[in-house]
A and B are shown apart, each in its own frame.
Chain A
């Protein structure tokens, strides 16, 4: 289904056609649930949150600007909802604009020669299972980017649009999230 079709569905919904919004829900509930689920951890909570995302999107559909992709608009609503949830639960969070440490992200380091490889120890399915566990160890903002990139397969441009940050910053943070997750996997094995 193309972006143009999304715009048509939005227009139809605004004219009062609820069936059009139902089509939007059918199209986007799975990617949103995959994202929200990995962010909040609990299945029931993830289902509630995803419902909230659609309810908020419906109520504020008139404020959607058609020059942006509809999917990125939905992810932005979801992301704001999750940030609110983190704040309420007083979970640690930070701005992706802030530097994280003196070495920044370790991305400029050369590859160490004697690293034990995870790939040689486990099968692909086992690595997948371990990634689920390692994801929970990642700081929220980095986990979000990792999920968007690898599970939702969003482009860097789409992520930059959602977060309102430059593409370069987002790319850096995604690489940083990947590297942090790999180190966690190493520690876990």
Chain B
């Protein structure tokens, strides 16, 4: 094992190492005088620091503090002040409401009524939309099926070259119809 790092030394002095690591370090220390000196030195400083003379307080220190404390009041924490303010605000609002002829219960009932009304309208609208959608699917589906069937029959009867000609003519008709409509409806560029 190589020499100890400074972190190793402090961990070792404070007893913060695992048992295996501790044994490993002790084995190294048994034959490395430089590391042993480094550990001893840091241990000595720690010992001296722990034995420093305490700052002496005057005998009347506690009395001085208590004289000062006697002038103070224990404050209420911020969250309690917020809660109390909110409660007071609500109480004032209720009083004003009652003075104006209304009642808090009436207000709550009104709010609740609007909420249920909104919920009811929403539910009816959703149900209607779902019905319309299912009806459209039911009506359009056979029409689409008949259209595709007819188209496939027509393509089997008509020559492929003629089919291409019809397709080009149909596309031309669609484009001219679009351009004509755009001019008519003044869609602009």
Contacts and interface: CB of A to CB of B under 8 A. Distances in A.
A111 B45 CA distance: 16
Contact of A26 (B4, B44, B62, B64): B62
Interface stretch (B68-76, B88-96, B116-124): B68-76
Contacts of A179: 6, 10
B49 A131 contact: yes
Nearest to B5: A108
A176 B49 CA distance: 15
A177 B52 CA distance: 17
A178 B10 contact: yes
Nearest to B37: A117
Contacts of B77: 60, 62-63
Interface stretch (B53-61, B146-154, B158-166): B53-61
A128 B73 contact: no
Max count, chain A CB within 10 A of own CB: residue among B44, B50, B78: B44
Given A14-B74, A111-B6, A113-B34, A22 B62 contact: yes
Indicate the size class of the contact surface on chain B.
35 or more
Given A22-B66, A124-B48, A33 B55 contact: yes
B41 A55 contact: no
Contacts of B38: 111, 115
The majority secondary structure among interface residues of chain A is: helix
B65 A111 contact: no
Interface string A10-37: 0001100010011001100110011011
A178 B7 contact: no
27 contacts: A14-B74, A18-B69, A25-B62, A29-B57, A29-B65, A34-B54, A34-B55, A38-B55, A47-B57, A47-B61, A51-B61, A55-B72, A59-B72, A63-B75, A63-B77, A107-B6, A111-B9, A115-B37, A115-B41, A124-B44, A127-B45, A128-B53, A131-B52, A150-B52, A151-B49, A153-B50, A181-B49
